[in-house]
Amino acid sequence: MTEIETVEPAIDWDSLTFSLTPARSMYLATCERGGEWEKGSLVPYGNIEFSPAAGVLNYGQGVFEGTKAFKTEKDRIVLFRPEMNAQRMIQSAERLCIPLIPEESFLDAVEKTVRDNADYIPPSDKGSLYVRPIVWGTGPVLGVHEAPSYMFVVFVSPVGPYFQGGIPCLHIKVTKLFHRAAQNGTGAAKAIGNYGASLYPLKLAKDRGFNEVMYLNSNDQEMVEELGAANVFVLKGNKLLTPRLGGTILPGVTRDSTIQIARDILDLDVQETDVSVDDILSADELFCAGTAVVICPIGKVTTDDDYAEISHEMGPVTKELREALMDIQIERREDQFNWLYPIDIL
């Protein structure tokens, strides 16, 4: 193991945004195609050298995950449902022909990285430590085929709110010009290429003053899929609707958690179903959910030929869901679903 620098981080916890603050160390492991992952180790956080012919650089052979570590009100450090990220990374890797990382190895790598960077975790009321496990085809290729070797890295960064202005009521552009995913494509995988392809639609939307893009089903242009970096929920009376998983949207950990909280704590009638643009435009409350965005209200929706103002501020149900989720994460509320994964600091 390379020597690790131990300088106390000087971070202004009050001005955290969702941007990279380099931490002390990262986890790194490698694997040859057809072989087993070697035992990885912590190395100082820093640049990595690849061949210009690396599979990931030429053909996008890479998948990633995103989870968070929290400092809790019980003075513990916990991860939130990291087993789900481990399983999703296996699904994503399979789709991109990347050697699968066993759940235990994924969890061990995440745990080691968080433990070694524990002093980069913000106080519970200031933010969290974003954890980014990522795996790339690093060996050289020229023709389109699987890379001969792979690298698995886990790096972390303290983060604050994803959107500028804390928890704004978002203004969303529903696009028919672009699709995020097609049936049998890579939409359900957390493939790096999905995000590269989302940059242009996002840039156009941001240039016009929107916060995010909402994508529609590419078959019918009618049913809602998700945002570029979060799942979507619609409240109508006592019903909470969210687009069903069908291979084109990402099966979000926050989506699943929101569904359980809505059913078991708020007693809402949750339906994973087809959600139309009309449902969105006539919502009582509308919000997005994801690890990075947490639960964030959507206040305005613009389609090509329609506009709806849903709310000026976070609706009461959105607020209750958001608070329940965050309170469980920081142990202000009982972990009744057994979601927390404590990390012992030795």
User: Which one of ligand COI, ligand PLP, none is in contact with 253 (Cβ closer than 5 to 8 A by kind)?
Assistant: ligand PLP
Q: Which is nearer to ligand COI, 43 or 292 (CB)?
A: 292
Alpha helices in 60-182 (DSSP H): 82-95, 103-116
Write down the least CB distance from residue 121 to ligand COI, Å. 16
Residue closest to ligand PLP, measured at CB:
252
Q: How many CB atoms lie within 10 A of CB 101?
A: 23
Q: Does 290 sit near ligand COI (CB under 6 A)?
A: yes
x/- string (CB under 6 A) for ligand PLP, residues 208-227? ------------------x-
With CB under 6 A as the contact rule, the residue among 57, 134, 230, 241 that binds ligand PLP is 230
Report the Cα 195 to chain-centroid distance in Å.
11
Question: What is the DSSP-derived secondary structure letter of residue 13?
Answer: G
Verify whether residue 190 is a known catalytic residue: yes
Cα(265)–Cα(22) distance, rounded to whole angstroms? 37
Which of 11, 50, 66, 115 lies at the binding interface for ligand COI (CB under 6 A)? 66
One residue of 89, 229, 261, 288 binding ligand COI per CB under 6 A: 229
Residues 145-204 that bind ligand COI (CB under 6 A): 195
Q: How far apart are CA 249 and CA 6, in angstroms?
A: 41
CB of 270 to ligand PLP, least distance (A): 16
> Exposure of 332 by Cβ count < 10 A (0-12 exposed, 13-18 middle, 19+ buried)?
middle
How far apart are alpha carbons 171 and 298 in whole angstroms? 6
The answer to whether 205 and 178 are in contact (CB under 8 A) is: no
Neighbours of 89 (CB within 10 A): 24
Which positions touch ligand COI (CB under 6 A)? 66, 195, 229, 290-292
> What does the binding site for ligand PLP look like in residue numbers (CB under 6 A)?
66, 226, 229-231, 250, 252-255, 290-291
